[in-house]
Amino acid sequence: MGTRDGATAAGRAAAVLAAGALALAAGAAGAPAALADGPDTPPQVLAEIEALEWPEYSFGDTDTDVAVAGYLLRHLGHFTGEPRDHFTTYTEDAVTAFQEDADLHVTGTLNQETWTALRGAVFGEWGRGLPNDSGDPVRAIQYSLAVDYGKDLVVDGRYGARTEAAVEEVQREFGIDDDGIVGEITLRAMVCGGV
């Protein structure tokens, strides 16, 4: 599935309109190359993905992305225990600690600003054979791929051939150059449900 369950046609249409505006504002160069996971991703796709709204979560919410954020927060030392789909007081405390450390507006919620800062704090590039090929960010990737995109993966934190192949499949669905590496663009597309 190219988009996650629950993505609305209106939301996709709004994202496409916003992406068009972003592409015009960005000029012919498109999105910055540092955000591109695959070197041959079309600039329009980069702009569309960057225009997607991050999902927002607060205490009591339940979604796969809450666990994804939990793995990223644990990687940064703000979360202990096993990340779950349910946004608990532990999640709220971890988000608050991250927001304080990142000098963000402290809300205790996973909002646009927090997701953007969290992505920037963790991603570079994660992939098989790269220096970043294991740990909680890989668990976050695997968990999203397994739960949101139906990929048959074990969430073991090791970026092996199966994880790489699953990333490539999802990248193709999103129109991202399928290099099998998760950087800022692929992560945002996965969390936001693609374009």
Q: How far apart are the first and last CA of the chain?
A: 12
How far is residue 42 from each of residues 1, 31, 37, 38, 177, measured CA to CA in Å?
A: 21, 10, 11, 9, 8
How far is residue 187 from each of residues 31, 81, 89, 98, measured CA to CA in Å?
A: 15, 23, 25, 19
pTM of the model: 0.82
Is it the case that residue 191 has pLDDT exceeding 70? yes
Per-residue model confidence as pLDDT tens digits over 133-160: 999 999 999 999 999 999 999 999 999 9
SS3 (DSSP) at 88: coil
pLDDT value for 38: 77
Looking at every residue in the chain, the average pLDDT score rounds to: 86
Top pLDDT among 35 and 89 is at 89
Tokens representing 193? Answer: 């449900």
| DSSP string covering 7-21 | --HHHHHHHHHHHHH
Domain borders along the chain are: 1-195
CATH superfamily label, 1-195: PGBD-like superfamily/PGBD (1.10.101.10)
Least confident span in 9-13, 92-96, 135-139, 163-167? 9-13
